[in-house]
């Protein structure tokens, strides 16, 4: 049996309580995709589907109905001995109701016929406009079929509504169960980053550091990475989403690792930056300490009722002042900030929502204003500086230094909780830790 069945049932009940009577929700798990020939990409169910079921088989569709009562129906792949011999076990129609605490189950092969009576006399159908585009055509077809039954006294749905408005806002505020999942994902991610730091001094290539990182995730029970790991040495660290991880690591370079483990569908997301040799150069240490100060200022800004953008502004203020002091930027501080001159070297935001998706769902602005932080939100804090050799107007001692420092932060009733504690963060802590691990 799945654990935490009450959690998934509660999610369904809370969602349907937000919707009007005579409404239906349709959430697919997704389909397997071919990588090449007859080899599939590893399958991971859509996050909305996991959030409402805890189930991760492909070719499944959840239908929730709000009529006199709330009912849950699940379409799944039928049991098939030959297919299961080749491809793996299936839950099957008969097992689904008890295993998943669902009212009824049907074969996915019967979807087009079996869903029609479920949608009879439904006023509104809710589906994710951002994640279920492929299903909109099917819904239009089902509505057309039901419209042919008007002489039988059957009404077809009149509205197709965006489920994201309700469901994704639910996902922004994490429950206690979700917070425990996120703590575990964070803890595994920390251990993976420590393994990467330990491995770098005996590694010739970025992929060897990646191997140490991700093998630790697997050892700790994480089924997969939450996103493609970044292991970027030297100038590669100035590429924000570098994922090739194939370059040779030079001893005088910094290595930036941006990676997170997944646990029960929830993501960790950490970035560490450390010297391949175990010791920072003076220039590396100066820039690293500046990014760390910016991150600490941003973390300190996090508490309920603070505008989301205030966290970013806290890091911007520290970074711009530091770049001015180091002679990388020139001018008046207020002007440099207002004209966003820092964006040459810090071109992304300071963080994002974190949850089932590493860049999790939910609005950042409401009524065109930055929303306020609330208890139960989880955000990342990840300021950075990236000075490539292409910045030919900057002293060469700063060239090809890319630094990002990222932690996962839970907003609490009175402030914040750093979920990703346990990593050496200051220059001194990193050098001391790496020197001990190399012995």
- The residue from 258, 262, 408, 431 that is catalytic is 258
258 included as an active-site residue: yes
386 included as an active-site residue: yes
- The residue from 359, 390, 395, 429 that is catalytic is 359
330 included as an active-site residue: no
269 included as an active-site residue: yes
**Distance between CA 265 and CA 431 in Å, rounded?**
34
Whole-angstrom distance between the N-terminal and C-terminal Cα of the chain? 46
332 included as an active-site residue: no
364 included as an active-site residue: no
- The residue from 56, 206, 235, 406 that is catalytic is 406
- The residue from 48, 178, 382, 408 that is catalytic is 382
Strand 378-381 and strand 407-411: the pairing is: antiparallel
DSSP per-residue letters across 262-308: EETTEE--EEEEEETTSS--HHHHHHHHHHHHHHHHHHHT-STT-BH
Secondary structure E strands in 291-405 = 365-366, 369-370, 378-381, 384-387, 401-404
- The residue from 279, 344, 348, 399 that is catalytic is 348
404 included as an active-site residue: yes
- The residue from 57, 235, 269, 431 that is catalytic is 269
- The residue from 48, 404, 416, 431 that is catalytic is 404
- The residue from 183, 193, 352, 416 that is catalytic is 352
**Distance between CA 434 and CA 21 in Å, rounded?**
60
25: its two tokens: 């929700």
348 included as an active-site residue: yes
- The residue from 386, 408, 416, 431 that is catalytic is 386
Residue found by looking up tokens 């939450």 in the block? 226
193 included as an active-site residue: no
- The residue from 35, 89, 241, 330 that is catalytic is 241
Indicate the SS3 state at residue 184.
helix
Which whole-number Å values give the CA distances from 11 to 6, 50, 51, 200, in the listed order?
8, 10, 7, 43
With b for 16 or more beta-carbon neighbours within 10 A and e for fewer, the 193-220 pattern comes to: bbbbbbbbbebeebebbbbbbbebbeeb
Residue found by looking up tokens 């508490």 in the block? 303
168 included as an active-site residue: no
> Which residues face 418 on adjacent strands?
409
382 included as an active-site residue: yes
- Of 434, 206, 323, 386, nearest in space to 214 by CA: 206
Please give the positions annotated as active site: 38, 241, 258, 269, 348, 352, 359, 382, 386, 404, 406
């Amino acid at each position: 049996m799945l654990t935490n069945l009450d959690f998934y049932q509660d999610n369904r009940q809370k969602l349907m309580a937000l919707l009007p009577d005579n409404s239906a929700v349709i959430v697919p798990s997704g389909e397997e995709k071919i990588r090449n020939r007859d080899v599939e990409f590893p399958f991971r169910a859509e996050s909305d589907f996991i959030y409402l079921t805890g189930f991760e088989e492909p070719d499944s569709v959840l239908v929730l109905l709000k009529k006199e009562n709330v009912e849950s129906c699940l379409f799944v792949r039928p049991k098939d001995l030959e297919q299961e011999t080749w491809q793996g076990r299936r839950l099957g129609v008969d097992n689904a109701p008890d295993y998943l605490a669902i009212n009824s189950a049907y074969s996915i092969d019967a979807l087009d016929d079996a869903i029609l009576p479920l949608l009879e006399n439904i006023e509104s159908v809710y589906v994710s406009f951002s994640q279920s585009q492929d299903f909109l055509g099917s819904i239009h077809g089902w509505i057309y079929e039901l419209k042919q039954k008007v002489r039988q006294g059957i009404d077809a749905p009149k509205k197709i509504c965006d489920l994201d408005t309700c469901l994704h806002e639910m996902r922004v505020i994490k429950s206690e169960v979700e917070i425990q999942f996120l703590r575990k994902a964070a803890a595994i991610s920390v251990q993976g980053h420590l393994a990467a730091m330990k491995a770098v001094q005996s590694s010739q290539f970025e992929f060897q550091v990646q191997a140490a990182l991700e093998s630790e995730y697997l050892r700790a029970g994480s089924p997969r990475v939450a996103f493609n790991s970044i292991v970027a040495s030297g100038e590669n660290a100035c590429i924000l989403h570098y994922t090739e991880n194939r370059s040779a690591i030079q001893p005088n370079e910094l290595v930036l690792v941006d990676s997170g483990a997944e646990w029960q569908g929830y993501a960790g997301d950490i970035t560490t930056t450390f010297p391949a040799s175990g010791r920072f150069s003076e220039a590396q240490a100066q820039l690293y300490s500046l990014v760390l100060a910016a991150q600490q200022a941003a973390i300190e800004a996090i508490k309920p009722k603070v505008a989301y953008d205030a966290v970013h502004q806290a890091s911007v203020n520290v970074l711009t002042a530091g770049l001015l002091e180091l002679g990388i930027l020139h001018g008046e501080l207020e002007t440099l900030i207002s004209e966003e001159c820092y964006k040459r070297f810090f071109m992304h935001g300071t963080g994002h929502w974190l949850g089932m998706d590493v860049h999790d769902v939910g609005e950042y602005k409401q009524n065109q204003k930055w929303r306020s932080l609330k208890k139960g939100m989880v955000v990342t804090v990840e300021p950075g500086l990236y000075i490539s050799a292409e910045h030919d107007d900057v002293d060469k001692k700063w060239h090809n230094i890319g630094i990002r420092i990222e932690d996962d932060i839970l907003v609490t009733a009175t402030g914040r909780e750093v979920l990703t504690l346990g990593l050496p963060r200051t220059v001194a802590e990193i050098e001391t830790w790496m020197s001990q691990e190399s012995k």
